[in-house]
Structure 1
Amino acid sequence: MGTTQLESVPEPKYWHLKTVLSEALDRDFAVGEILPNERELAARFGVARATLRQALEQLELEGRLQRRRGVGTTVAPPRVGVAVGSTGHGWPGEAADGWEAVDAVEAVPAGAVLALLGTEAGRPVHTVRRTRVTQGQAVAAELLYVPAASVPGLSAIDAPAGPARARAVLRELQRLALDGQDRSVELGSARADDAKELDRLPGAPVLVVTTRYFTAEGTAAVSVATYRADTCRLTFGDTGMEITETRAAS
């Protein structure tokens, strides 16, 4: 990696530095290789560490770099394509949907979720936690909120806790006739629990995908799925929006 003159560049310094770093990643570094520390990089490029951090953060957001607990900043792996959305939308938990059930508890969701569900404030709902795994690594974590009215046949005796309880909630949910769903996507920051699940640092960029599932009676469930922003891209087609994972976690 060589030095560069940034003073006369009209665009922001960090943006130009990001371009230079991106070219250097392609030329000088292998996948998984750890970058030099910030002090060394800042000295090499003649920039302030704050400018360097901005460039590194942007490269992380674009999926070129990964910050890993106890390791440091590494070069992201090559892209792989794994579809996580399709034109044939169905209930969560259907065969081959790519998610693994982890647990299910009864809890009161946040106000924003309660508003989407249309349920009474303070009323607990079944909260199913699932993970999305690609090549043995978690790339997404989901919380699925299901009101008791949506799964009236659920028996606590049959599945008291853990993955079995989660699968029971999903199984009962699939007994309903799905009328449709809507989905929204926004960029967010990883919360502590999601960061741990996804092997990210708290505050790392993530994509938050919120999905509402409808029956003739109204909203039957709400999913809030958090995807690693460095593994996913969004594509849009004639049939609606799809989400495609593009990098394997390392």
Structure 2
Amino acid sequence: MGTTQLDSVPEPKYWHLKTVLSDALDSEFAVGEILPNERELAARFGVARATLRQALEQLELEGRLQRRRGVGTTVAPPRVGVAVGDYTHTWTESGDDTWACVDSVEAVPPAAVVRLLDTDPDAAVHQVRRTRVSQGQPLAAELLYVPAASVPGLAAIDTPSGLARARAVLRELGRLKLEGREQSVELGSARADDAKELDRLPGAPVLVVTTRYVAENRTAAVAVATYRADTCRLTFGDSLGDANSVELLAG
């Protein structure tokens, strides 16, 4: 990795350093290779460690680097394309690159979800936790909020929580005929529980996809999915089933 003179650069030093480091990642490092430590990199480029950290954080945000527990900072592989906008939807678990149930509890959802569900602020709903894995790599963690009215056939004798309950909720939800959905995406930071499931550090950059499912002219469910911003490239299909799609690149 070469050196460069940063003192006369008009743009912020960390931003120019990010560009220099990005070029070096393309020419000098292989996917999965560990970068030199911060002290060595800062000395090599003649910058303060704070400046270096800003550059590294930006590269992590853009998906070029990964911070791995017990390993250090490594060169990230290309992002995995993840389809989140197919109109045809199934709640069942099947094969790779799909959602897998983890558990289910009854709980009062956050205020933002309550507004989307248009339910009583104190009303508990079914909260199903799912994870999404592709080729053995964790991609996303999701909380799916389902009002009792959306699953009226759910038997009272079913287990009140856990994996079996989660599958029962999704089985009943699958009986509804979805009429449409609304989705929004925003950049966020991984919370402790999501970070653990995604094998990331708390505070790592993530993409939060919020989906409101509509059936029978009302909100049937709301999903809040947290995707790894460093490894995922989200693709959205047209809501009418058109073959065209739009790619949203993290970073």
Q: Alpha carbons of 1:94 and 1:177: their partners in 2 closer, same or farther (altered >3 Å)?
A: farther
1:138 paired to 2:145: no
C-alpha distance in 2, partners of 1:143/1:242? Answer: 24
Any idea what the Cα deviations from partners look like across 1:45-94, whole Å, max 9, x if unmatched? 001111111110111111110011222111102344443432x3325447
Tell me what 1:8 maps to: 8
Any idea what the Cα deviations from partners look like across 1:139-162, whole Å, max 9, x if unmatched? 100000001111111124234432
TM (norm. structure 1) is 0.90
- The 3-state SS of whatever aligns with 2:16 is helix
Tell me what 2:196 maps to: 196
Any idea what the Cα deviations from partners look like across 1:128-183, whole Å, max 9, x if unmatched? 00000011121100000001111111124234432221111011011112111100
C-alpha distance in 1, partners of 2:229/2:124? Answer: 30
C-alpha distance in 2, partners of 1:104/1:245? Answer: 31
In structure 1, runs of 5+ residues without a counterpart are none
Tell me what 2:232 maps to: 232
Alignment check: 8 A CA contact 1:131 1:140 kept: yes
Tell me what 1:129 maps to: 129
Alignment check: 8 A CA contact 1:81 1:245 kept: no
C-alpha distance in 1, partners of 2:187/2:29? Answer: 28
Matched AA of 1:125: V
1:90 paired to 2:110: no
Q: CA deviation at 1:219?
A: 0.6
C-alpha distance in 1, partners of 2:103/2:131? Answer: 10
Matches for 1:133-212 after TM superposition, within 5 Å: 133-212=133-212
C-alpha distance in 2, partners of 1:178/1:81? Answer: 25
C-alpha distance in 2, partners of 1:47/1:119? Answer: 54
C-alpha distance in 2, partners of 1:122/1:45? Answer: 56
Matched AA of 1:90: H
- The 3-state SS of whatever aligns with 1:194 is helix
1:77 paired to 2:77: yes
C-alpha distance in 2, partners of 1:51/1:167? Answer: 48
- The 3-state SS of whatever aligns with 1:144 is strand
Matched AA of 1:26: D
Alignment check: 8 A CA contact 1:153 1:172 kept: yes
Matches for 1:94-109 after TM superposition, within 5 Å: 98-109=98-109
Q: Alpha carbons of 1:10 and 1:245: their partners in 2 closer, same or farther (altered >3 Å)?
A: closer
C-alpha distance in 1, partners of 2:148/2:209? Answer: 23
Any idea what the Cα deviations from partners look like across 1:3-25, whole Å, max 9, x if unmatched? 11001111111111011101111
Alignment check: 8 A CA contact 2:80 2:232 kept: no
- The 3-state SS of whatever aligns with 1:184 is strand
Tell me what 2:47 maps to: 47
Q: CA deviation at 1:34?
A: 1.4
C-alpha distance in 1, partners of 2:82/2:236? Answer: 15
C-alpha distance in 2, partners of 1:147/1:185? Answer: 23
C-alpha distance in 1, partners of 2:236/2:121? Answer: 35
Q: Alpha carbons of 1:169 and 1:18: their partners in 2 closer, same or farther (altered >3 Å)?
A: same
C-alpha distance in 1, partners of 2:124/2:245? Answer: 31
